[in-house]
Structure 1
Amino acid sequence: MILLSSSSSQMEPVFCLESRNTSCLKTVYPLPVRVCLYAVLGAAVLVTVCGNILVIVSIAYFKQLHTPTNFLLLSLAASDFLLGLLVMLPSVIRSVETCWYFGELFCKIYISTDVLLCTASILNLSFISIDRYYAICQPLMYGRKITATSVLIMILVSWSVSAAVGFGMIFLQLNILGIEDFYYNAVACEGGCVLFQSQAASTVSSVLSFYIPGVVMLGVYLKIFLVAWRQARCQQRRSSDRSQTKATKTLAVIMGTFLSFWTPFFICNVVDPFIGYSIPPLLFETLVWIGYLNSTVNPLVYAFFYGWFRKAFRAIVSGSIFTSDISEIKLFTE
């Protein structure tokens, strides 16, 4: 990228570092644009971190919320919170300054954490869909299949597999396997920090982290909604059935939001290596941020659909949880 200087009629390249032979080129945005970007992206980080903290505190503190589904939601909120704090926050600086100033090691940790948390989110959602399947389609087996132990196993699998994919791919350099010479000669430069993948790596990682779990979730929720639709046609329905159906619809909105926000990025992620890495970096950057914003939206979905979250939110904000023992407050009306 090239900076057009108002004080010079010539176009002079701007570099991230003083060593021009090895440094990445830098894009310098006008000051008003930089201020707006910092404000908007910073606000997204703040909402993401604070919103997911409220979800985490609500579920952890109130005993009535200690259910298998909510523990999976807790794991999802934890991944969203960490994404906001550990990935989105440094991404603000990288996106606005268009350079990476935190060193090569931290860059690897940053990219690995990014892959880890995005993968953990979709795996958590996959297990949530399984929980909903048993709650709606196999209610008599729900208590035996979805236990505290099985939920713990689901959470451990989500995080351990995600960590293996994220840190294994980056630190073992599997993402550039077979294209090392091209990467180091034509792509790598100081002051840059992007996830560069070969055709095989981008395809395999996207299929494992997004496409297969996404198709599974869509199939499971289709089955769930067919069953829920048949239940809705019954004149006499128990309040517990209505509550389960409402919870399923809410979680389906969360899943649909996730797929909508991340699908454009993963399509480009697979296609880009096959078209000579010709997708503009700015477009990639935009799609990544759209994906990140999914973690911002999730707590807003909870607040809109879940009465228990609004009650818990009021209790937390008012400070009631610090002045009296209200951990057993009745959050549900059904």
Structure 2
Amino acid sequence: MENNTSYSVLLPERVSSWYIVLTSLAMIILAILTVAGNIFVIHAVFTNRALRIVPNFFIVSLAVADLLVAILVMPFHISTNITGAWIYGGVLCQIWLTSDVFLCTASILNLCIIALDRYWAIHDPIRYAQKRTVKRVLVMIAISWTLSGMISIPPVFGWGDKDDDSLYDDDVKTCTLSSDKGYVLYSACGSFYIPLAVMSFVYIHIFIATKRRLRERTKAAKKTKLAMRNIVNNKDGNANKKRNNSDSTNDDHDERNEDIVEEPSNHCNTTSSESANNVCNGSANVALTTTDKKKRKKTRGKRQIDSAKMEFEDNARHLRPRVSINNFFEEKQRISLSKERKAARTLAIIMVTFVLCWIPFFLMYLILPFCDSCTYPGTKVEALFVWLGYVNSTLNPIIYTVFNMEFRKAFQRITAKCRGNDSGRIALTRTCV
């Protein structure tokens, strides 16, 4: 969106050569970054199979609009900043202003339909997934570009291009957008304020839905984790009960064996009136029984030690799955919550960036024609507001792609090829997060 103030006032304000050099250099760098970033996005989508999905058509449309802003609009601003005047004549002035309004509006409206697409995808994901066809997406993109044309073309047919308010002034070499109040209100609302209202409504609802789903997933994850702990504890309790029953059965069996062995000793004592041979045999049986009892006590103690070892190992085996299950659900919960927070953070970045980049210019653009007592802020402030809006075209490919793993991989692959590494695998494994 172009401003309505002449750049020819740069010289009367006695702008220093250092200011012209630094601002022009900054504009050139910004234009180059905008071209490079949006070319990367378009190239990544068309060359990467994983990115050739229907929702990314909106990203490509946005990248095309921002790329054309950098190619068709920014260079003339840079030239005007350097020379201090419009030197390309009236016809090119009209084409440039129309292109400026058309492409900046297309960029903003593409941001708007991306917001609507995300809102529908979250609000009714099942049915909208069936409706989100290539035809539907292309129709939405066509509507955004058509609306942009309807907002930018009226001055070409004479709206606001009157003798006292001409777009191009050959005497002072200025090329300015019409300050006709009707057109200013029409273009400002269509290019910014209506899309801003739609995006605000949509992203607020998306943010609320994201926060609500975040809380629901947190509660569900806690319930699942508690249920798994109860299941594991019940299994451990049943296993311990079985082991205790088994140990008590073994102890009873040992005691019965000892009682059976002691019976010959008592029988030998009751037969003391028999022959000496029987007495000796009875004494020998008593001694043998005592030895067996000692051996059985040692065996019983060893068995208890072995049982304790087995119980420890069994507890360790049960503990490892429990730790693994808990870690699994904790990790799953952490990843899910991280994704939700990242989505909410991305929405906030998109909205804040859009508002900060465009609202200074559109406030100035709308207020000045209707406020007779308002003073013009000066060409430096105006140029800052205009280029701040263009910064949004530079940041769009970063915001909408850097948070996507597939886009990051595609960018790494492209840069790897530029460095001569055809496969790009080394760079991917080293730098991709």
Q: TM-score, normalised by structure 1?
A: 0.81
Q: Which residue of 2 aligns with 1:264?
A: 360
Greater helix share, structure number: 2
Cα distance between partner residues in 1 of 2:144 and 2:336: 29
Cα distance between partner residues in 2 of 1:211 and 1:86: 24
Could you tell me whether the CA contact under 8 Å between 1:175 and 1:202 is conserved in 2? no
Instruction: Classify 1:280/1:98 alpha carbon distance in 2 versus 1 (closer, same or farther; 3 Å).
Output: farther
Q: Which residue of 1 aligns with 2:65?
A: 79
Q: Which residue of 2 aligns with 1:308?
A: 406
The letter of the residue matching 1:227 is: A
Q: Which residue of 1 aligns with 2:90?
A: 104
Query: How far did 1:211 drift?
Result: 0.7
Query: How far did 1:112 drift?
Result: 0.5
Deviations 1:309-330 (A, max 9, x none): 221111111118995799xx9x
**1:33 equivalent among 1, 7, 19:** 19
Secondary structure at the residue paired with 2:183?
helix
The letter of the residue matching 1:130 is: L
Cα distance between partner residues in 1 of 2:400 and 2:114: 15
Is structure 2 residue 154 aligned with structure 1 residue 169?
Answer: yes
The letter of the residue matching 1:59 is: V
Kindly tell me the number of residue pairs found equivalent between the two proteins.
Answer: 304
Instruction: Classify 1:184/1:53 alpha carbon distance in 2 versus 1 (closer, same or farther; 3 Å).
Output: closer
The letter of the residue matching 1:318 is: A
Is structure 2 residue 213 aligned with structure 1 residue 213?
Answer: no
Larger Rg: 2
Is structure 2 residue 392 aligned with structure 1 residue 294?
Answer: yes
Could you tell me whether the CA contact under 8 Å between 2:203 and 2:347 is conserved in 1? no
Query: How far did 1:186 drift?
Result: 12
Could you tell me whether the CA contact under 8 Å between 1:136 and 1:244 is conserved in 2? no
Identity of aligned residues (%): 34
Could you tell me whether the CA contact under 8 Å between 1:122 and 1:210 is conserved in 2? yes
Is structure 2 residue 253 aligned with structure 1 residue 253?
Answer: no
Could you tell me whether the CA contact under 8 Å between 2:97 and 2:177 is conserved in 1? yes
Query: How far did 1:185 drift?
Result: 12
Q: TM-score, normalised by structure 2?
A: 0.63
The letter of the residue matching 1:169 is: P
Instruction: Classify 1:55/1:241 alpha carbon distance in 2 versus 1 (closer, same or farther; 3 Å).
Output: farther
Cα distance between partner residues in 1 of 2:167 and 2:363: 27
Deviations 1:12-39 (A, max 9, x none): xxxx9xxxxxxx5661633322221221
The letter of the residue matching 2:193 is: Y
What are structure 2's unaligned runs of at least 5 residues?
Answer: 1-6, 222-331
Instruction: Classify 1:240/1:131 alpha carbon distance in 2 versus 1 (closer, same or farther; 3 Å).
Output: farther
Cα distance between partner residues in 2 of 1:143 and 1:73: 18
Q: What is the correspondence of 1:217-232 to structure 2 with a 5 Å cutoff?
A: 217-232=199-214
Query: How far did 1:54 drift?
Result: 0.6
Is structure 2 residue 28 aligned with structure 1 residue 42?
Answer: yes
Cα distance between partner residues in 2 of 1:32 and 1:185: 30
